[in-house]
Structure 1
Amino acid sequence: MKRKKVLALALASTMLVAMMGCGNTSESNNSGASENEGAADLTSYEDIILGEDFTDLEATITMFNNRTDLDSDDYGGVTWKEYLAAFNEVYPNITVKITTDTNYADDALTHLQSGDYETIMGIPAIDSADFSTYFISYGDLETMSKQINYADEKMYQQEVYGVPFTATTQGIVYNKKVFADAGITETPKTPDEFIDALKQIKENTDAIPLYTNYAAGWTMGVWDMYTGVSATGDEEYANQKLLHTKDPFKDYGDNTHPYSVYKILYDAVAEGLTEDDYTTTDWEGCKGMMNNGEIACMVLGSWAVPQMKAAGPNVDDIGYMAFPITIDGKQYAKAGADYCFGINVNAPTDEQQAALVFVKWMAEESGYSYNEDGLPVATKNTETKLSFDGVDFIDDAPSIDGEEDLLNELNAESELNVNNGGDRKIQELIEHASIGDMTFDEIMDSWNQLWTDAQDVCGAEIQY
């Protein structure tokens, strides 16, 4: 299989370099790695030479993450077992024990709050100011930006606390055969074209046009991710302008901005273009349904593509399209880090060092990003299977200094949780669309009022 071959090549490369050349033991503090006992002795991420340094290091570390599918031998791609086997070919004395969780976003917070958490974990939704309470710094932003892309994703006061293993973009995974059978010859580029395509699919095939994944919950929050770059073409919108925009959920009248993103979902449900009973959707089951043509499309990040391909024999039928919004004749897609992995600030120094080695190996040598149809993480790597013809990839600009946690404050006050696990509001949108008890504009008006009230309470000045 091509994906596994890449892993083997990465391993061979690491071995060539080599030939050439968790228990928490201290109390949490707020100052990060600089005051962790022995932290000064750590060799930094930047200075570690993979395949050469620490090949004799003995340590046992733990990692907590959300990729339950990589636990299964039936997964069509590279599994955790295979990654660990490849890693141990180079680092035989570093034992990595991996735990995964389908309810990761919530349970990761519970782990942190308990004070008893893994050596390595995907950083959940916590305030940026709290990064150093839980995780060591990998280095300053200037230094880390030379090592990895998306270094500012989990950055606070110019220190980087998280490293991703892959980066993704936001679009729509779809079954190319179903679209072709429905008579659709070009991927839709506007909300109207997309709804028309769903209608064609319903009329001309037996497939579910758009699968909502309502019951999974976390899949609902994915819709928020399209309200920034994909809907505006503006890298400053999500983390800067949204915070200071009056009525951000209003109709801009040009099929752009958050209004148009959410309206696609509302209209699809209201017009019967989704599954018959949204309460019975099945996240694991939908992968095979997509692969065999029972589902036409789902709104999910590019990370979902290899999972749909691995769910059945029809690998070539699975495609990925840009989200159907066009700004001044151009389409945009957000390119950003998937979960960024932090290292426990309280772990013993030898475990932190082993964790630094493992994180760097996963990000730069494992082939993980390529295998998962992701965008490159390491600056030295450029290979990717992911591309959108004629679409510009843009990453969200970071928050303005001093406003790193303002979005979290607005989300908490408004309870809208935009780009912060806001699955319940999207579920409610589906419910209202199905029942017909609230119009879409009534829902958006209520969200605007909640946001306005939150801006007032949090002192967010209106600038736009």
Structure 2
Amino acid sequence: MKLKKLSSMVLVAAIALTGVACGKSGDETQAPAAKSAGFKQYADIVLGEDFTDLEAEISFFNNRTDLDSEDYGGTTWKEYIEEFNKMYPNIKVNVITDTNYAEDAKTHLQSGDYETVMLIPAIDKADLSSYFESYGTLDVMNQQINYADHWEYKGEVYGVPSTATCQGIVYNKRVFEEAGVTEIPTTPDAFIEALQKIKDHDSSIIPLYTNYAAGWTMGCWDDYTGISATGDEAFTNNTLLHSTDPFKDYGDGTHPYAVYKILYDAVAKGLTEEDYSTTDWEGCKGMINRGEIGCMVLGSWAYPQMEAAGENAADIGYMPFPITVDGKQYALAGPDYCYGVNKNAPEDEKQAGMVFVKWMTEKSGFAYNEDGLPIVAGSTETKLQFDTVTLLQETPAVAGEEDLLNQLNAESELNYRAGGDRRIQLIIEHAAMGDMTLDEIVAEWNAAWTAAQDACGAERN
């Protein structure tokens, strides 16, 4: 696995805008409050020595409902907490999980009544200090963890990744092999041909499962339109912002258009489930494990979940996304959900939350267990093998344009890589009905993007 080292060691991803269009945001954001003399931030905590006698009860809100089950093939939340309590017996951790986490987490924050530790949902970075405790400065945290500036704002770090992933396609190796697909597809056309072979070999198998009904799974398609489709580390946070008609067909099987065309063509050719409205996120895990599904477009975080969903873990594989740029394949490497500690919790709870996050990061083995890329700075421990792909991390926006993507998303209402799940669902709907071509769909997007650039004063190349 080749990981290109960039000057920025973090992924800066697009995040959802909260009530901000083409103006400044966060100007009134308060600096992190001063801590009491006894409070320790992430880097200062020595696990197993500090706060071992701390008595506190905290809550931990997350999206991993599968880890609630004793039937889960890996380590469960119960087992993680039991191990944590061997070191910190007086910190009680109440785990709360939610299948609709992406939306419900934002609702919890907006209510003002939210958990001690939670996975940070898509919010404006300017709001981070209102909700979450700082782990420390970026300079300090860069020495502690990878991807430290994913949730950094004005020099303070508010999120610690639970794990890190790369982007590709989870698939059933046996299904592909039995259909006569002997080589991993590396172009959109080759991928569609492979799906067609699966359908022709056994019509009972769903070649590509869209997970339309889950909603949040649709966002994965946007995620592949940057590095995976262009090989350009600056695409999302710079190139796209100033491109003329960025969603157009470049004619060479690359860029965002090529990603969306794979989805559109698969649906239009009947290579997905018969009724997209009835897809089942939890059920699909067992289906692909049993060989009832050929593949799904999901980040590598999904790989271990599909392995653990049945008796056929050896059949599950993970392939690069089928786009080749100048003879090479690329994938985005970056953090999954990040832990945030409730700024407004009582101090003993905040401290316990800080301890819990550090334990999850350094002692639990969570990232390794979930086939993730390492989070602890300097660590190389991972089970994920992606040797034929160049893994890149996205470069941040240039100074002065940190909020421009958010502003363009709000103005255009496209929500590109910022919760635009409904926009991707519409691709499936139009492809199934045949009432709009992909060219007609992206023409509308390009017009909206151009209008937003004009409104926000973004120069076009």
For each residue in 1:348-386, what CA deviation from the matched residue of structure 2 results, as whole angstroms up to 9, or x when unmatched? Answer: 222111111110111111010011111100014211111
List aligned pairs for 1:202-351, cutoff 5 A. 202-205=199-202, 206-351=204-349
Rounded Cα–Cα distance in structure 1 between residues aligned with 2:155 and 2:314: 43
- 1:370 is matched with 368
Choose 40-49 or 73-82, whichever is displaced more: 40-49
- 2:8 is matched with none
SS in 2 for 1:260: helix
Choose 377-386 or 366-375, whichever is displaced more: 377-386
Rounded Cα–Cα distance in structure 2 between residues aligned with 1:438 and 1:39: 60
Rounded Cα–Cα distance in structure 2 between residues aligned with 1:352 and 1:336: 26
SS in 1 for 2:85: helix
TM-score (norm 2): 0.92
The letter for the 1-side match of 2:74 is G
Aligned residue among 382, 395, 398 for 1:397:
395
List aligned pairs for 1:17-416, cutoff 5 A. 30-35=29-34, 38-205=35-202, 206-416=204-414
Tell me if the contact between 1:32 and 1:134 (Cα under 8 Å) persists in the aligned partners.
no
Cα RMSD of the aligned pairs, angstroms, is: 1.3
SS in 2 for 1:227: coil
SS in 2 for 1:356: helix
Extract unaligned runs of 5+ from structure 2: 1-27
**Quick one: structure 1 residues 39 and 193, their matched pair in 2 at CA, closer, same or farther if it must change by over 3 Å?**
farther
Tell me if the contact between 2:29 and 2:126 (Cα under 8 Å) persists in the aligned partners.
no
SS in 1 for 2:408: helix
**Quick one: structure 1 residues 64 and 39, their matched pair in 2 at CA, closer, same or farther if it must change by over 3 Å?**
farther
For each residue in 1:101-137, what CA deviation from the matched residue of structure 2 results, as whole angstroms up to 9, or x when unmatched? Answer: 1111111111111111111111111111111111121
SS in 1 for 2:43: coil
Rounded Cα–Cα distance in structure 2 between residues aligned with 1:340 and 1:276: 35
Rounded Cα–Cα distance in structure 2 between residues aligned with 1:39 and 1:182: 64
SS in 2 for 1:442: helix
Q: CA deviation at 1:31?
A: 2.4
Identity %: 68
Tell me if the contact between 1:228 and 1:258 (Cα under 8 Å) persists in the aligned partners.
yes
- How many residues align? The count is 433
Tell me if the contact between 1:174 and 1:290 (Cα under 8 Å) persists in the aligned partners.
yes
Rounded Cα–Cα distance in structure 2 between residues aligned with 1:355 and 1:280: 39
Q: CA deviation at 1:214?
A: 0.8
The letter for the 2-side match of 1:453 is A
Rounded Cα–Cα distance in structure 2 between residues aligned with 1:435 and 1:302: 31
SS in 1 for 2:44: coil
Structure 1 runs (4+) deviating above 6 angstroms are: none
Rounded Cα–Cα distance in structure 1 between residues aligned with 2:439 and 2:175: 32
- 1:4 is matched with none
SS in 2 for 1:378: coil
Q: RCO higher in 1 or 2 (8 Å CA, sep ≥ 6)?
A: 2
For each residue in 1:58-77, what CA deviation from the matched residue of structure 2 results, as whole angstroms up to 9, or x when unmatched? Answer: 11111111111111112111
Extract unaligned runs of 5+ from structure 1: 1-28
Q: CA deviation at 1:213?
A: 0.8
Tell me if the contact between 1:128 and 1:404 (Cα under 8 Å) persists in the aligned partners.
no
SS in 2 for 1:86: helix
For each residue in 1:159-200, what CA deviation from the matched residue of structure 2 results, as whole angstroms up to 9, or x when unmatched? Answer: 111001100111100000001001111111111110111111
The answer to which structure has the higher helix fraction is 1
Rounded Cα–Cα distance in structure 2 between residues aligned with 1:107 and 1:456: 34
